[in-house]
Structure formats: C-alpha cells, structure tokens
Amino acid sequence: MDCNDKKQVMNLIKTARGQMDGILKMLEEDRYCVDISKQILSVQALLKKANLKIIDQHIKHCVKQAFTEGNGDEKVNEVMELIDKYAK
C-alpha cells in the first residue's frame, strides 16, 4: 500500500474510532435512539470505505504480483472469500 493510501485508510479508521467514542458517550447520556443509530451507520460507512481501499490496493499490488510469480489463483481465492463475507 502506498503512503498516500495508507494515510487515507488510517485517517478513516481514526475518524471511525472518534465517532465510536461519541456513540459510547451518547449511550451513556441516554440520547435519542435514532441519533445513535445514524452515528453507527456513519461509522459503518467509514469502515466500509477503508476496507474497500485496502482491498483495492491488495488487488492492484499483491494479486498482480502473485500472478507474475505464478501463484495468482491463491490470491484470487482470498479476494473471493473477502467478497463473500462483504456481501453478507
């Protein structure tokens, strides 16, 4: 993963972590359930975006390199397992 993509993923994860802290505080304060749910959805979207960036980089670098080295099928199977989990 190149430095710029790594930085983007780290920022997304840090933002999600901050929002999670906010959600915990909202729960402690007995805030409105719908507001809490919206924040949870926001965190899920951030994590999804970070995960897609990581998968994208994996395909562009690791999978591509594996095909060059003759063991691409194994990497394709890994990606397919991820997609299967992602789709559920």
State pLDDT tens for residues 32-76: 999 999 999 999 999 999 999 999 998 898 888 888 898 888 888
Q: Identify the pLDDT of residue 50.
A: 96
Q: HSE of 16 in the Cβ direction (CA atoms, 13 Å)? A: 18
- The 8 Å CB, 24+ separation contacts for 6-12 are 8/53, 9/50, 9/53, 9/54, 12/46, 12/47, 12/49, 12/50, 12/53
Residue (of 35, 82, 87) closest to 63 by Cα position: 82
Q: Identify the pLDDT of residue 46.
A: 97
Q: Identify the pLDDT of residue 73.
A: 87
Q: Identify the pLDDT of residue 4.
A: 87
What interhelical angle do 33-57 and 72-87 show, nearest 10? 170
- Can you tell me whether residue 50 is helix, strand or coil? helix
Q: Domains for the chain: give ranges and CATH numbers.
A: 3-87 (1.20.58.1000)
44 and 21 in contact (C-beta within 8 Å)? no
Residue 88 has pLDDT above 90, yes or no: no
Q: Identify the pLDDT of residue 42.
A: 97
The whole-model pTM stands at 0.84
